[in-house]
Structure 1
């Protein structure tokens, strides 16, 4: 499935950390026009340029943008225990902004795949037939999502992770770097599969699967409750 910017002609990055660096590289490789970055910390420090693009200000700079012509890139990475990425995305959407799906030219995405708003597919990723990816989801570098997987919103599939066929993932879940989820399994909301873990049975909501022995434990409520409000 090819990416589409619709009527949007320019893009603005939100955040200027490591994830944003990778996305700016993706945009440059795709020939997309990123006109600037909004980052409160850079603005506070009086920085005017970041990696060759203008620092437009903090989050308040969004109020000066034309929502019909400027799309946003969510440069905030998704880490376990933080919902800042989801909160920022939902706030901007409520103001009328769009986040076009972004696909690195070195990724493979089957034409039957459905990409929600703000999906980010990095270099080397593989998306096979009849996959659905929900809004604001990250398929990171070299990750693989096989046929008929259904991935909900605000999910992060970390670098090198593998989802075998017909995996179902609920909102806010996280699959760590190099992890493997065996075919036909399900992850509940905010479930976490630790890096390098092989998941061989369903994982309930708010659980973490860790290490080669695949132990599970409950996620503390404070780590995710803010994003559920």
Structure 2
């Protein structure tokens, strides 16, 4: 597997792949000359001709940056799902998805492309996560929630059942979201309120 990115999230993705007995054979990064990587692999700026049949994971935590990289990558995308994650077999999982240690994704959900479900997050039944969304560590997404494209649900947040979060939203860490959040909004608190 190839990884694009060399920061902290890339180390988590490498850990997931290792736990899945998947070897990281190459690492792409825009600043590759300054990358110190603990494992032996090819380091380079992105080049579609390097190992073109290997699958790739974009290991960048920022939603916008991850989307920009996805638009230029020619490689096929893989999945990184840690063995401790409990993902119901009925969940539809997109491409390039990263599901981190000790997460739970319940029945009937849909996970878009390049979504990150971070450490110990819970995504309950029938949730829909848009492309490039990021569910932060320890967040709880209750049943029937929709999270729009490129939205971030911060660490430790709770989103109540049936709530819809628009695209490119930021939900502050530790927030309790009790009602719908429009596109591009930034909310935080308990209950979550607009902070723009």
Same fold? TM cut 0.5: yes
In the aligned structure 2, how far is the partner of 1:213 from the partner of 1:109?
29
Which residue is 2:48 aligned to?
63
Larger Rg: 1
Which residue is 2:39 aligned to?
52
Q: 2:61 aligns with which of 77, 80, 83?
A: 77
RMSD: 1.4
What is the deviation of 1:65?
A: 2.3
> Which ranges of 4 or more aligned residues in structure 1 deviate by more than 4 Å?
none
Secondary structure in 1 aligned to 2:48?
helix
Secondary structure in 1 aligned to 2:25?
strand
Which 5+ residue runs of structure 2 have no aligned equivalent?
none
Count of matched residue positions in the alignment of Structure 1 and Structure 2: 196
Question: Residues 59-115 of structure 1, C-alpha deviation per residue, up to 9 Å, x if partnerless?
Answer: 2xx232243x20111111126xxx2111001211xx2x2111221001100000010
Question: Residues 151-189 of structure 1, C-alpha deviation per residue, up to 9 Å, x if partnerless?
Answer: 110000000001000001111111000000000010001
Which residue is 1:216 aligned to?
194
In the aligned structure 2, how far is the partner of 1:147 from the partner of 1:212?
23
Question: Residues 13-53 of structure 1, C-alpha deviation per residue, up to 9 Å, x if partnerless?
Answer: 1111000000000000000121021123232x3x5x61113
Secondary structure in 1 aligned to 2:66?
helix
Which 5+ residue runs of structure 1 have no aligned equivalent?
1-10, 219-229
Which residue is 1:121 aligned to?
99
In the aligned structure 2, how far is the partner of 1:63 from the partner of 1:156?
26
Structure richer in helix, relative to its length: 1
What is the deviation of 1:213?
A: 4.8
Q: Matches of residues 42-191 of structure 1 in structure 2 within 5 Å?
A: 42-43=32-33, 45=34, 50-59=37-46, 62-67=47-52, 69-78=53-62, 83-92=64-73, 95=74, 97-191=75-169
What is the deviation of 1:56?
A: 2.5
TM-score, length-normalised on structure 2?
0.95
Q: Is the 1:102–1:118 Cα contact (8 Å) retained in structure 2? A: yes
TM-score, length-normalised on structure 1?
0.81
Secondary structure in 2 aligned to 1:26?
helix
Asked if residue 33 in structure 1 is aligned to residue 20 in structure 2, the reply is: no
What is the deviation of 1:217?
A: 3.8
In the aligned structure 2, how far is the partner of 1:102 from the partner of 1:214?
31
What is the deviation of 1:196?
A: 0.2
Q: Is the 1:165–1:184 Cα contact (8 Å) retained in structure 2? A: yes
Which residue is 1:3 aligned to?
none
